[in-house]
């Protein structure tokens, strides 16, 4: 199996992009990635998109986006795994290059979510849950994560203030990211006094509805070296699933798919949790980030909330989490999120994030999750 490197990245401002179409958003970011890589042709494309049909009425986007990027007749695939679509697209692109089937692969993600009403967006996102046994009874994703949050609070003593600190941290990081949807700081009080969505989660505990895209270029590491490119390698990848409905799980306060995907990635990379310098993880709700750092082995089970009081996940902490601002501040165009996480890690390892640059990071990890934890993809990156 060949070593795989990222040689180009592209991402633009995320938010409510009323004046742009899905195809335009994607092409803009893909062209940035191609320019960054110094190439104009790829062998293959993998594009993460959760629900383009429900959001903009357009299916068959693999053909559409290859066409408008000027890359036909290359093979192009649309990848769907709910909010983990982008991460899974990256995994498949990695596998294609590592296997030798292709040398240059474009991995992208895109979602145009604001062209529908809030009710329609809620329905579209709800299709990532169990429609017959959860959606039928009126459960939305804020409702599902509210159940998880309440159970974690009762079982481990996690507090509302600890969850609020997740949002405060991510907005503090996002304030340094000019491409973030919400680049401003907030306080614990503002979180605790924001509009209630599903008790105990308030609106500032929730990631937003977002338009956006992200793209990167993969190739063999040896090719990257010959091109005199900074070599950031993907050294580990993991993918796992869990029961889709919360009521089927043994413990709704534990993300088994994240644990299993991380276990695979750590083994492949020959790394341990303590070897990771920083992470980009799936903070679709504040409680989600707390559960993720537990499942990744960064803190003991049930101690995730305390990590935020101790600020170990903050920018200056022992293990910085979501230097980009995370889904909460950067935004969450669901199909693009996993690719954008990888871009932040690559930029950090290349020394490019500017004001939010960490001090000499060498190993980064991304964790991208679908639904209420029904699927997870983990990648580990290393600077050569």
Give CA–CA dist 363/382, Å, rounded: 5
User: Residue 164's closest CA among 308, 281, 293?
Assistant: 308
> What integer is the mean pLDDT of 104-128?
96
pLDDT tens digits along 333-363: 999 999 999 999 999 999 999 999 999 999 9
Q: Tell me, what's the pLDDT at 139?
A: 92
Contact (CB, 8 A) for 208 and 283: no
DSSP 87-108: HHHHHHHHHHHHHTS-S-EEEE
- The pLDDT, as a whole number, for residue 379 is 99
Band (pLDDT 50/70/90 cuts) for residue 378 is very high
Give the angle subtended at the CA of 11 by the CAs of 4 and 203, to the nearest 5°: 115
Q: Dump pLDDT digits (tens) for 15-31.
A: 999 999 999 999 999 99
What is the C-alpha separation between 21 and 374, in angstroms, rounded?
30
The DSSP line for 261-286 is HHHHHHHHHT--GGG--EEE---SBH
- Residue 110 C-alpha from the chain's centroid: 12
Q: What pTM did the predictor assign? A: 0.98
Q: Which of 33-37, 84-88, 117-121, 238-242 has the lowest mean pLDDT?
A: 117-121
Q: How confident is the model at residue 302 (pLDDT cuts 50, 70, 90)?
A: very high
How far does CA 242 lie from the centroid of its chain?
A: 18
Report pLDDT for 172.
98
Indicate which residue of 152, 282, 332, 379 is catalytic: 332
Residues of the chain above pLDDT 90, percent: 100
The whole-number pLDDT of residue 239 equals: 98
| Cβ(140)–Cβ(198) below 8 Å | yes
Closest by Cα among 184, 174, 242, 218 to 342: 218
Give percent above pLDDT 70 in the chain: 100
Residue 104 is predicted with a pLDDT of: 98
The C-alpha atoms of residue 310 and residue 340 are separated, in whole angstroms, by 27
67/78 Cα distance (integer angstroms): 13
Rounded to an integer, the average pLDDT of 237-241 is 98
- What does 290-336 look like in DSSP terms, one character per residue? HHHHHHTTSS-TT-HHHHHHTTTTSTTSSS-B-TT-HHHHH---TTT
| pLDDT tens digits, 257-295 | 999 999 999 999 999 999 999 999 999 999 999 999 999
Structural domains of the chain, with CATH: 4-116+210-226 (3.40.47.10), 118-206+236-379 (3.40.47.10)
Rg (CA), the chain: 19
pLDDT bucket at 14, cuts 50 / 70 / 90: very high
Give me the mean pLDDT over the 61-72 stretch. Answer: 98
Confidence of residue 129 (pLDDT cuts 50, 70, 90): very high
Residues whose CB is less than 8 angstroms from the CB of residue 270 and which lie 6 or more positions away in sequence, other chains included? none
Q: Is 206 one of the catalytic residues?
A: no
- Average of per-residue pLDDT across 110-124: 95
pLDDT at residue 179 in the model: 98
Catalytic residue among 83, 206, 219, 284: 83
| Residue 61 near residue 80 (C-beta atoms within 8 A) | no
Longest CA span, the chain: 57
- Other beta carbons within 10 angstroms of residue 80's beta carbon come to 17
Tracing tokens 């644990």 back to the chain, one arrives at 259
Predicted confidence at residue 370, as pLDDT, reads 98
């Amino acid at each position: 199996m060949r070593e795989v490197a990222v040689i180009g990245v592209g991402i633009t401002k995320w938010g409510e992009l009323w004046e742009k179409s899905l195809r335009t958003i994607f092409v803009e970011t893909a062209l940035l990635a191609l320019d960054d890589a110094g190439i104009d042709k790829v062998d293959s494309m993998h594009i993460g998109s959760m629900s383009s049909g429900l959001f903009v009425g357009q299916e068959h986007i693999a053909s559409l986006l290859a066409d408008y990027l000027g890359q036909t007749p290359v093979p192009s695939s649309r990848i769907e795994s709910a909010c983990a679509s982008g991460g899974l697209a990256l995994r498949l692109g990695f596998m294609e290059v590592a296997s030798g089937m292709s040398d240059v692969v474009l991995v992208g993600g895109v979602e145009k979510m604001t062209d529908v009403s809030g009710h329609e967006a809620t329905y579209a996102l709800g299709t990532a849950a169990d429609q017959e046994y959860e959606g039928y009874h009126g459960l939305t994703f804020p409702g599902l994560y509210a159940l998880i949050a309440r159970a974690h609070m009762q079982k481990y003593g996690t507090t509302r203030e600890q969850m609020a600190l997740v949002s405060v941290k991510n907005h503090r990081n996002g304030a340094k990211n000019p491409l973030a949807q919400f680049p401003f700081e907030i306080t614990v009080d503002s979180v605790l006094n924001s509009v209630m969505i599903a008790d105990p989660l308030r609106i500032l505990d929730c990631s937003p509805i977002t338009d956006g895209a992200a793209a990167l270029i993969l190739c063999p590491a040896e090719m990257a070296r010959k091109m005199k490119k900074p070599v950031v390698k993907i050294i580990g990848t993991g993918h796992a699933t869990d029961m889709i409905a919360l009521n089927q799980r043994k413990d709704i306060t534990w993300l088994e798919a994240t644990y299993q995907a991380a276990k695979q990635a750590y083994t492949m990379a020959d790394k341990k949790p303590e070897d990771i310098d920083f992470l980009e993880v799936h903070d679709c709700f504040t409680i989600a980030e707390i559960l993720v750092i537990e499942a990744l082995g960064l803190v003991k089970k049930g101690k995730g909330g305390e990590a935020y009081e101790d600020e170990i996940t903050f920018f200056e902490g022992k293990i910085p989490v979501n230097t980009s601002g995370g889904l909460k501040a950067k935004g969450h165009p669901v199909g693009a999120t996993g690719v954008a996480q990888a871009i932040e890690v690559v930029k950090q390892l290349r020394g490019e994030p500017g004001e939010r640059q960490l001090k000499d990071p060498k190993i980064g990890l991304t964790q991208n999750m679908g639904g209420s934890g029904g699927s997870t993809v983990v990648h580990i990156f290393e600077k050569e």
